[in-house]
Amino acid sequence: MPELPEVETIRRQLSEHLAGRTITSTRVLDPLLVDPEDPADFARRLTGRALREIRRTGKYLFIELDDGEALALHLRMTGQLLWTPGEPDEPTPYARAVLGFDDGSMVTFADPRRFGRAWFLPAGRAARSRAWGRRTGVDAMSPGFTARSLGASLERRTAAIKALILDQRIVAGVGNIYADEALFRARIHPRRPGGSLTQAEVRRLHRAIRDRLRMGISVGGASFDRYRDAHGGRGGMQDLFLVHRRQGEPCPRCRTIIEKGVVAQRGTYWCPRCQPLEAEVQGEADVEAQGEAEVKVQAAC
Ligand SMILES: [Zn+2]
């Protein structure tokens, strides 16, 4: 599933091509994409509008229109937004909607599994916020996401830390890939109860989330699967994964074999030595303390 870096890559590419452009045609090929809106009404509403800017919160894109409304898009599992300078040479497989622009360029929403959605958001801050509800909390790359805000959201929580950072209301934009990578960077076991993290661990985790997302953006996202950018290109993050999808391989830090299990109903990868299940006694653990924690975990098994 595209996460923050993948959606941000698409946002940047589309912004470059489309800012200020007018939508001259709208074809909805799959009514489910715009459900419950009528596809003809949807097309009428969108056609003729100019694009002011394209924004992003978490994994959602917002195409801001000249009348103050926005078109919200979520790619879900397998959605792609493909830009072409004109009509594509061949029909795009799994196309669900096609937008045409005043310079002849086109954007195709393609989506084999059809979980992606597009819908209108009203003009005006209050109406927008009512319509949006509590779908997302603070974006992981925004200044509002701080170690302090993360710590406050984790307080007294008994759920696994991985489940909590996947919760888009706590931090928007982190999905399965970047959760595993950030937890490894922060040396925190994905099954640790959120409320058990020390302040030092919360700070490390906040830093690690930012660091891995920034890395993902800088290489255009992760393309081990379906994800393609707006030009149909692949990202490079899959070659930089530290633990994600690397079970059975040596940990890049300590050479211990990386494990895989299920946490928060998702395939999860971690290093059993660098990410002990036991909480740190205090502050930053040194290597020796981590070794001891590992022995304790083994004894408990
Ligand atoms: Zn390790």
Rounded Cα distance, 295 and 229, in Å: 44
Instruction: Tell me, in angstroms, the distance from the centre of ligand 1 to residue 258's CA.
Output: 7
pLDDT value of position 251: 98
Residue 177: the pLDDT is 97
User: How does DSSP assign 54-81, residue by residue?
Assistant: EEEETTEEEEEETTS-EEEEE-TTT-EE
Q: Where are the domain boundaries for CATH 3.20.190.10 in the chain?
A: 4-132
Write out pLDDT tens, residues 48-93. 999 999 999 999 999 999 999 999 999 999 999 999 999 988 989 9
DSSP symbol at 267:
E
Number of other residues whose CB lies within 10 A of the CB of residue 22:
15
- Nearest one of 298, 278, 262, 299 to 193, comparing CA atoms: 278
Span from the CA of 236 to the centroid of ligand 1 (angstroms)? 23
- Quote the ligand 1 centre to 139 CA distance (angstroms): 29
Where exactly does CATH 1.10.8.50 map onto the chain? 147-300
Find the 250 Cα to ligand 1 centroid distance in Å.
8
Say how many Å lie between the CA of residue 300 and the centre of ligand 1. 20
Asked: is 147-300 a CATH 3.40.50.720 domain? The reply is: no
Q: What integer pLDDT is reported at residue 291 of this predicted model?
A: 44
Distance 217 CA to ligand 1 centre (A): 25
Residue 65, C-beta contacts closer than 8 angstroms, at least 6 positions apart:
46, 49, 50, 51, 52, 71
Q: Which CATH architecture has domain 4-132?
A: Alpha-Beta Barrel (3.20)
Question: Residue 215 and residue 70: Cα distance in Å, rounded?
Answer: 29
Output the pLDDT for position 297: 42
Please give the positions annotated as active site.
2-3, 59, 266
Q: How far is the CA of 168 from the centre of ligand 1 (A)?
A: 28
Torsion angle defined by CA atoms of residues 272, 275, 281 and 283, in that order, rounded to the nearest 10 degrees: 150
For the chain, strand residue ranges (E) read 23-28, 51-57, 60-65, 70-74, 80-84, 95-101, 106-110, 117-121, 259-263, 266-270
Distance 268 CA to ligand 1 centre (A): 15
Which residue numbers in the chain have pLDDT < 50?
282-301
> What pLDDT does 281 receive?
56
